[in-house]
A and B are shown apart, each in its own frame.
Chain A
Amino acid sequence: ELKVEQNPLFLSMQEGKNYTIYCNYSTTSDRLYWYRQDPGKSLESLFVLLSNGAVKQEGRLMASLDTKARLSTLHITAAVHDLSATYFCAVDPGNYGGSQGNLIFGKGTKLSVKP
């Protein structure tokens, strides 16, 4: 059974600081996704990582994937209040040819950025 673990589950940080959220998974996969969810809202796709060594950046967020270590990271640079949200990673256990997009989600990291 594929398990996806995120840590930390809660993160309180000050504006301007850097931090990293970790996503470990228990089986081989080369397809990993990061989503953002604001309170009471739906999920918004942030990054799609489809190969070992993939790195993607959008604004103050950068995501990377190491399929050999079964680890993805979401790095936050110089945090601002607007980044406060819950961040989920999700892993597709199928390889590309056989994938049907059945994502397994982590429990999420609730990020709070304080002035």
Chain B
Amino acid sequence: NAGVTQTPKFRILKIGQSMTLQCAQDMNHNYMYWYRQDPGMGLKLIYYSVGAGITDKGEVPNGYNVSRSTTEDFPLRLELAAPSQTSVYFCASSPRDKQFFGPGTRLTVL
């Protein structure tokens, strides 16, 4: 099993650009999550999904969108990137309790 994979690993965006962060898992987990981690801080939940076709907002959803068309994939869309979205983004999946994290995407918005 590859576990949770994320692409890209690094990305630099200009203010106002858009991009999609990809996340995939091959463990057949129903639950998937997107977090952001700012320097020296814990993780904050952006969006989550409890199954294909079902998504909901987390603690910091503004400026982001998600979709979940399959169990495996949970992409995160940034529209109109802003410097405040500079962060490390982690995707995670879970069968119910324990969450398995991807390697992260380091995003810089200049």
Contact = CB atoms under 8 A, between A and B. Distances in A.
Interface of A: 4, 31, 33, 41-45, 48, 50, 88, 90, 100-108
A56 to B, nearest CB: 12
B98 A43 contact: no
26 contacts: A31-B97, A33-B98, A33-B99, A41-B103, A42-B90, A42-B101, A42-B102, A42-B103, A42-B104, A43-B43, A45-B99, A48-B97, A88-B43, A90-B42, A100-B31, A101-B96, A102-B45, A102-B58, A103-B33, A103-B99, A104-B59, A105-B43, A105-B44, A107-B40, A107-B41, A108-B41
B94 interface: yes
Contact of A101 (B31, B59, B90, B103): B31
Nearest to B35: A105
Interface of B: 31, 33, 35, 40-45, 48, 50, 56, 58-59, 90, 92, 94, 96-104
